[in-house]
Structure 1
Amino acid sequence: MTEPIDIVIYHNPDCGTSRNTLAMIRNAGIEPHVVEYLKTPPSRALLMQLIARMDIPVRDLLREKGTPYAELGLQDETLTDEQLLDAMMEHPILINRPIVASPIGVKLCRPSEAVLDILPMPQKGAFAKEDGEAVVDAEGRRVS
């Protein structure tokens, strides 16, 4: 019997990119732990760990669209990582999504097909995004 594959997706069900990413994880035959991060935000320590594992600057995790980004003045390049983290802790909607953690790595899956790079299992069949864009063919191979 094989060990279950531990994958976590920090998910927003209102986000198409997040829904497509979740569907691709499931298309690989994996049922991930789904964390609706707006209802259950990650702790500051966990968020810092995820950012470190993604090897991205804190600023790269900030979401601008549909958030208080501009009103909070977060475009100010002089803000420290600590200040940006403070804003994300106070307003979790500022955390860009979806973030997926797998045994292979952690990634901000924008575009959604970026998840394919960190899934330990191949796609089980064809997959198209909600908008109809083909991502994986019938043999489970990535479409360019």
Structure 2
Amino acid sequence: MANIKILHNPRCSKSRETLKLLEEKDIAVDIIEYLKTPLTEQEIRSLYTKLDLENVTQMMRVKEPEYKAAGLNSADTTDDQRFAAMVQYPKLIERPVVINGDQAKIGRPPESVLDIV
């Protein structure tokens, strides 16, 4: 069986809903509370590749105050600056994220993760 992981924030309703959905389908998951155990920049870059998104901001919570505080709303912000900000402020990473091997999906809506499990 694949080693499925979820980047989880127990305070987030979408994160809780996604975890519950996986559990209801008897899908075993490793829970990573990424606010308690932050990801490295290399792990975040790898996650971005697995998510197969068009741009880095699609994996970020752009409405968080830290996004603006880090100056990321400037048009000339680089991806390197965005990755560094996600290391510094883990809450900027969109949640939840389910990872299965070389694929990952953001659980918004929660059912979208079922494509990869």
Same fold (TM over 0.5): yes
Whole-Å separation in 2 of the counterparts to 1:104 and 1:86: 22
Task: State the aligned residue count.
Answer: 116
SS at match of 1:42: coil
In the other structure, the counterpart of 2:10 is 13
Q: After the TM superposition, which residues 1-144 of structure 1 pair with which residues of structure 2 at under 5 Å, given as runs?
A: 4-56=1-53, 57-103=55-101, 105-119=103-117
Q: State the structure with bigger RCO (CA 8 A, min sep 6), 1 or 2.
A: 2
* TM-score, normalised via structure 1 length: 0.74
Mark the structure with the bigger radius of gyration.
Answer: 1
Q: Deviations over 1:122-143 (max 9, x none)?
A: xxxxxxxxxxxxxxxxxxxxxx
Say if 1:112 and 1:13 are closer, same or farther in 2 by CA, change over 3 A: same
Letter in 2 for 1:76: S
- Pairwise CA distance, 1:15: 0.2
Q: Could you tell me which runs of 5 or more consecutive residues in structure 2 were left unpaired when the two chains were aligned.
A: none
Q: Could you tell me which runs of 5 or more consecutive residues in structure 1 were left unpaired when the two chains were aligned.
A: 120-144
**Where is the helix percentage greater, Structure 1 or Structure 2?**
2
* TM-score, normalised via structure 2 length: 0.90
Please provide the CA RMSD for this pair: 1.5
- Pairwise CA distance, 1:103: 4.3
Q: Is the 8 A contact 1:9 1:35 kept in 2?
A: yes
Whole-Å separation in 2 of the counterparts to 1:64 and 1:84: 11
Identity of aligned residues (%): 38
SS at match of 2:67: coil
